[in-house]
Chains A and B, each alone.
Chain A
Amino acid sequence: MEEQFNALADGIGAHLRGSEGFLASFAGESSAFVRYNHAAVRQAGTVEQRYLSLELFDGKRHAAKTITLTGQADDATRVTAAVTDLRDILKDQPEDPLFLINTAPQSTRRVLPNTLPAAEEMLDAVLTAGSRHDLVGITASGPIHRGFASSLGQRNWDTAHAYNIDLSFYLQADKAVKWGDGGSSWNAGAFTAKANAAKQRLAALARAPKTIALGGYRVYLAPAAMEEIMGMLCWGGFGLADHRTGITPLIRMVEGERLNAAVSVRENTKDGFAPGFQSKGFIKPDSVDLIVDGAYRDCMTSPRSAVEFGAAQNGAEDNMEMPVSLDMAAGSLAESDILKTLGTGVYVGNLWYLNYSDRNACRLTGMTRFATFWVENGEIVAPLNVMRFDDTLYRMLGTNLAALTKTRDARLSSDTYESRQTRSMLLPGAVVDDLRLTL
């Protein structure tokens, strides 16, 4: 796809008139999706898609259109038609005071090696792992491509041959162990080991489930649960426009409130999975500090926000100023000491369906899900029936944060809305006192 994209970009340049310029952003993938239920195939197939977002500009006037590409010779015709449409639109467009493009072209190229197995091999591995178990979930694999080109001669390309395994073993009703793996380097032995570890955790779910009274409990939030909390914060929590207009759920941090000093969060592009450039051609910095030692530091800033609020852009997308390679600093709690440190309380393997019950207070509600256990004196006693929590971030990761784990999980997003995602998070687990369970 890279050669086709570069050829198209060259062709767009040939269509320009006068002082016109263009930005072109490409998103493509060739994905194999296999969906499972009851350790059998529910749906299986392949998706091959190519999208080109073409923006024509003349000074501060600009307009953009996204089109599908075939990968065949007729793409040149589609692109020519798009340029003509956009030129026609530009006639009526006012100048956009917030339009900002990268005028210091920097071309980059990253193509990760392909170590993915054939579709049959992954299918066989999953069905073998699921044999005699109630397995449900999805595998996704194949190349993900992102490209950028501009009339200033910039060319960026990123190809990741990636896979994502997102599966659950169910024991009964809603009692299950969710597990998975993802990245660009497939290892059949590691996959089998993860499957076996998940099966072993199923045994604890066989005990009679426990229901506890409403109230405050000491809890351990596993990295998968932390992913849900940080995922909520990413939507509106760290964007410059959200901060300057006061709609961020972290508005109290903007005004000086702090989290626990052990909490540091940054956008870590250098070690993340996402491409190092954004759709306007700006190259992302290696790292952006968002929260340092519990205090708010910087915002994710898009080109439009940079102009509107007089700041420097730092690689965020327009209208989506959020971390995509989030990195939360580790603590000092050894994995082997988690249950002992928790003592008596709730081991939360996963959280689910979080939302704000009071955005200004950064008060979050959500449910426990999958493998969540009642623990007494450092020993797992019984699986817990699902419970709702409703508490503020300032208590959970502030006054009531007891410990963060030394080991962190790298969590590659399994989201596949519209396309496969390259978002990732690197997260520790957290021991939290007095989490409010309300339903």
Chain B
Amino acid sequence: MSTTDIAARFTAVAPACDFWSVRVVHKRTESLGVTRGITDPIGLADDTGVMVTVEAADGVGYAATSDTSSAGLARAGKDAHAWAKRTAGRLVAPPRTRGNAVRHDDAARPAMWGTLSRKAKVERLHALAAQAKCHDRIGDWGAGFSFSDEESVIATSAGDHICQRQGVVAPWLHASAGGGGETQTRTFGRGGAIRQGGLDVLDDMGFWDAGTRIGQEAMELLAAPNCPEGEMDLLLAPDQMYIQIHESIGHPLELDRILGDERNYAGTSFVTLDMFGRYQYGSDLLNVTFDPTVSCEAASYAFDDDGTPAEKQFLIKDGLLARPLGGATSQARANSPGVANARACHWNRPPIDRMANLNIEPGAASLADLIASVENGVLMETNVSWSIDDSRNKFQFGCERGQLIKNGKLAGVVKNPNYRGVSATFWRNLKGLGNASTVAVLGSPNCGKGEPNQMIRVGHASPPGLFGGVQVFGGG
């Protein structure tokens, strides 16, 4: 039964109430991999369920179920209605007013995944992983990818019908070299490689060509000296920039955090509502956008899970804080503009404010220009460690690989590169950004937040960024 049919089935048994919505999700997943020369068990999943939301007498309740029979859907409607009655007059904010009904359908978009047989995919993964195992000292190595094909339908008592489909590919590749009580690992983006599309995405990312490089760089790190300690320039590659953006711009700008919803779990924010339009978040080079229109990026969509149409918006313009990451419900609560970012990780969780695609607009410099401008610094690649306080201010990050920069030139690889700083001042020390040709489209499949917890994919596109006066250090 299709998602549209299930939505229609609910419509036939929906409870009498002020407003109802049903979100039906059907997600098929395939994971293939190779670990230490042996084919991993195939991972297949076929997952369908519904989330019903009911508003009644100034209360709101939800009920999610994998029971998509008429009886199951009727029971979900009844349960959601009961919760709406229980919460009437006890909500943080009353149900919001909605706009005109919307109809949208992009379910016919094909996902290019079956052009290569499963057996052929696994054979290619074996060949790739074997390239990463380039030395006897590499004791752990592997390659794989997951592909998900997700179709969702949102229907409401107001006449909305929004059908969307997204294919998402997330590859992985790693090699760990060990010796002398130490292990160094190099990966293909360590989870930051995720995009919408099919097999073509893997070619575009350079995944099939990365095996030998990953193995050799793991060996190189094993022999490298520790990253030096001191205050210096820091040049971050896009596969570190994405997590810096995520943790110290994305999360603090989430409106539900600013409104306090996340204080018991994911945390609050050093950003307050009065700072929008006034606060200089970064140097005038910093332009940050919420952009759901980049076709290959992980969290592009036409409508969020509340049915709000999605469009590109500047969150930070020329360094000045412009608008928060808040969906329709949060916007109404805060009396603030926002974006279409009410998202749920799956059918079994309600929508909350999430990042979606959060990008740094490119600057003017080439990578060579950025390196040439550094007298004393480090270029860091590929995030391996991230930690930030619950207000999203004091942070510390570690990367897989560093390269010293001396007098404008790369001057050798260092291991265990780390840096720490404070969001409120770090972005003001941004003094260089790569041009459009240096931008990499990355993201994360694992942004965790919410109560109950939700793990969701986000996209981050960024050029390399150069920062001045950063506290850098190594391991030990």
Contacts and interface: CB of A to CB of B under 8 A. Distances in A.
A123 B86 CA distance: 9
Interface stretch (B230-238, B384-392, B437-445): B384-392
Contacts of A415: 453
Interface in A310-332: 318
Interface string A274-300: 000000000000000000000000000
Nearest to A368: B389
Given A66-B44, A245-B176, A49 B49 contact: yes
A23 to B, nearest CB: 11
Given A44-B61, A138-B452, A418-B455, A65 B183 contact: no
Interface stretch (B68-76, B205-213, B318-326, B362-370): B68-76
Given A71-B72, A361-B475, A94 B264 contact: no
B431 interface: no
B280 interface: no
B167 to A, nearest CB: 19
A48 B182 contact: no
B261 interface: yes
Contacts of B259: 37
B435 interface: no
B387 A353 contact: yes
A247 B260 CA distance: 38
B42 A89 contact: yes
Contact of B264 (A72, A136, A252, A318): A136
B66 A48 contact: yes
A361 B49 CA distance: 45
Using C-beta atoms within 8 Å of the partner chain, give the interface range for chain B: 35 or more
Interface in B311-351: 346, 348-350
Contacts, number: 258
A424 interface: no
A394 B293 CA distance: 49
Contacts of A94: 39
A45 B455 contact: no
Which of A31, A50, A439 has the largest count of B CB atoms less than 10 A from its CB? A439
A40 B91 CA distance: 5
Contact of B451 (A35, A386, A438): A35
Contact of A360 (B41, B68, B76, B182): B182
Contact of B67 (A72, A168, A420): A72
Given A62-B41, A66-B47, A357-B398, A367 B390 contact: yes
Q: Which of A31, A47, A98, A365 has the most CB of B within 10 A?
A: A47
Contact of A68 (B47, B90, B181): B47
A151 interface: no
Interface in A403-419: 415-418
B44 A65 contact: yes
A251 B182 contact: yes
Given A92-B119, A246-B178, A363-B475, A68 B42 contact: no
A383 to B, nearest CB: 14
Given A44-B61, A50-B66, A166-B264, A245 B387 contact: no
Given A89-B42, A92-B119, A354-B387, A38 B260 contact: yes
Contacts of A97: 38
A367 to B, nearest CB: 4
Interface string B26-39: 00000000001011
Contact of A72 (B38, B72, B267): B72
A386 B396 CA distance: 14
Contacts of B182: 251, 360
Interface in A363-410: 363, 365-367, 369, 386, 388, 390
B453 A49 contact: no
Given A66-B47, A246-B176, A386-B394, A45 B350 contact: yes
B373 interface: no
A306 to B, nearest CB: 14
Contact of B263 (A96, A176, A357, A360): A176
A48 B67 contact: yes
Most B C-beta atoms less than 10 A away, residue of A70, A138, A178: A70
Contacts of B159: none
Given A174-B268, A388-B396, A119 B39 contact: no
11 contacts: A37-B259, A43-B350, A67-B47, A96-B38, A96-B39, A137-B451, A140-B452, A308-B36, A354-B387, A365-B385, A420-B452
- Those 5 A-B pairs whose CB atoms lie nearest each other, nearest first: A358-B475, A45-B62, A245-B140, A137-B264, A416-B452
